[in-house]
Structure 1
């Protein structure tokens, strides 16, 4: 039986004129230039769908399609400019982190360094905001935060503190949660801050521990009686975006450089003004 030979696999005669023409120096250099240009082009444009996930935590991540949150808007702008297709998913934060660790989503928004370290996540180098432990009570409550010890004493007198499952609140608060978990009441689901505000207004909890920006934004959206701002623990924590461990390293570079460019171009200031807040740097 004869064996068929296909031209692509034939040995090439080095004396062949076509071979010599194709491998002459000018043509060889042209091939290299075209190859490099193709690589550069591929590095700058993408077509992959990116799934971004988080719970609702306005003004960072909001439920309004026209104003979906400044982190959401900024990341969408950065990624879509590089031809990514972005899909935004509203998922409880604890579940979003679990899905990220299992590579079922690509990005989780608005995580503290504690989240990153605890779950051993890959994160952006550039922060996307800040978070502080701020306290709110009903308008007829004059209590003010002065220290974690005083908070524990006040809460022990049947004054429950509303927090959110999956969030981290810094070392001193986390130690108090571990030592006296009965002082705290967790909100769950896609809209946990909304849940805590409703529980505060109905008397199921007495204190909300959350970000001032987030609480004020949600109170305004709900158009309810303003809450009393009861003070802050003080120190702010930076917020980052976390990425799946199997994500292309170029995506991380795109996000970090994109955040820098977004600020330098003035787009960030304009975006934050639309949400009634100022740059965290």
Structure 2
């Protein structure tokens, strides 16, 4: 009898609904401050909520302004996962567990600038005309030529980290502290829509970059969460819901196989 009760107790514990808490840092349109974006929480938050809507579990989100601090907190097991980051090693992130299915993919690289510094289709060599290039501190650039140029010209690069990065980028561009800001084309087009004084210049020579959630390698729940995300993204893609979420933020589903 005791054995039966113990077995039933174990079954119930496996079926028990959990509340998972995920860290996010402001990086709109991927993760957004809804108060500043007319209620939009970002493509990653929308995808996570849609995935878990069909599960017995609930999710909550905690804001951490620094991207690097957020990653350190995930690695230490402080939170169940990080809502979004671009992976530094293809479709994976060294030292972390990532779902097999990224949320999205971006192609090439781009920069944001005042209109006078726009180059419709630029090459890495064109960066030589600028004196101050803004970039995320700690970011790994997938394009080898771009990464080499930045490494060989450290006097030109201004790395930014900490809170409210994109707002600070806007201010730095406006006052001329930096000439250009390097980032994904999707993010920069989103910023240019909000701030029409800026323009986006794109280079299609960059590699593909993938983005999605991060989990701690040694946390017991991580593997289960990665599977939930993989199955959920597949379900959202088949139903068309994933495409709707991406379109809401001006992005195509480049992983759908038809783009």
TM range (shorter): 0.7 to 0.9
Q: What is the number of equivalent residue pairs in this alignment?
A: 246
Aligned partner of 2:169 in structure 1 is 196
Q: Tell me how far 1:105 sits from its aligned partner.
A: 2.2
Corresponding residue for residue 46 of structure 2: 73
Q: Give unpaired runs (5+ residues) of structure 1.
A: 1-21, 23-27
| Structure 1 residue 43, shift from structure 2 partner | 4.5
Shift of 1:56: 1.7
Unaligned runs of 5+ in 2: none
How far did residue 118 of structure 1 move?
A: 6.3
SS in 1 for 2:49: helix
Question: Is contact 1:272–1:279 with CA below 8 Å preserved after alignment?
Answer: yes
Report SS of the residue matched to 2:89.
helix
Aligned with residue 147 of structure 2, among 153, 162, 174: 174
Alpha-carbon RMSD across the aligned residues, in angstroms, is 2.9
2:20 is aligned with 1:49: yes
Q: 1:273 aligns with which of 247, 251, 255?
A: 247
Is the partner of 1:49 in helix, strand or coil? strand
Separation in structure 2 between the aligned mates of residue 226 and residue 96 of structure 1, nearest angstrom: 29
Question: Hey, what does 1:243 align to over in structure 2?
Answer: 215
1:129 corresponds, among 104, 110, 114, to 104
Distance in structure 1 (CA, Å) of the matches to 2:133 and 2:178: 6
Q: Is residue 112–residue 198 contact of structure 2 (8 Å, CA) maintained in 1? A: no
- How far does the alpha carbon of each residue in 1:180-233 deviate from its partner, in whole angstroms, 9 at most, with x for none? 221211222233223223211211111111111111212323x44242425343
Q: Contact (CA 8 Å) 1:137, 1:227: kept in 2 or not?
A: yes
Deviates more, 1:128-137 or 1:253-262: 128-137
Q: If the length of structure 2 is used for normalisation, what is the TM-score?
A: 0.81
Q: 1:138 deviation in Å?
A: 1.4
Are the counterparts in 2 of residues 136 and 231 from structure 1 also a CA contact under 8 Å?
Answer: no
Q: Is the 8 A contact 1:125 1:256 kept in 2?
A: yes
DSSP-derived class of the 1:85 partner: strand
Q: How far apart in 2 are the matches of 1:101 and 1:187?
A: 22
Per the TM alignment, residue 35 of structure 1 is displaced from its structure 2 partner at its CA by 4.8
Q: CA deviation at 1:265?
A: 1.6
Distance 1:116 1:129 in 2: 10
- Partners of 2:204 and 2:61 lie apart in 1 by 35
Deviation sequence 1:223-265 (CA, Å, 0-9, x none): 4424242534332211131102214221111111111111112
Higher fraction of helix: 1
Greater Cα offset, 67-76 or 225-234: 225-234
Larger radius of gyration: 1
1:46 deviates by: 2.7
Match of 1:25 in 2: none
Q: Secondary structure at the match of 1:219?
A: helix
Task: Give yes or no for the alignment of 1:153 onto 2:128.
Answer: yes
Separation in 1, partners of 2:29, 2:182: 16
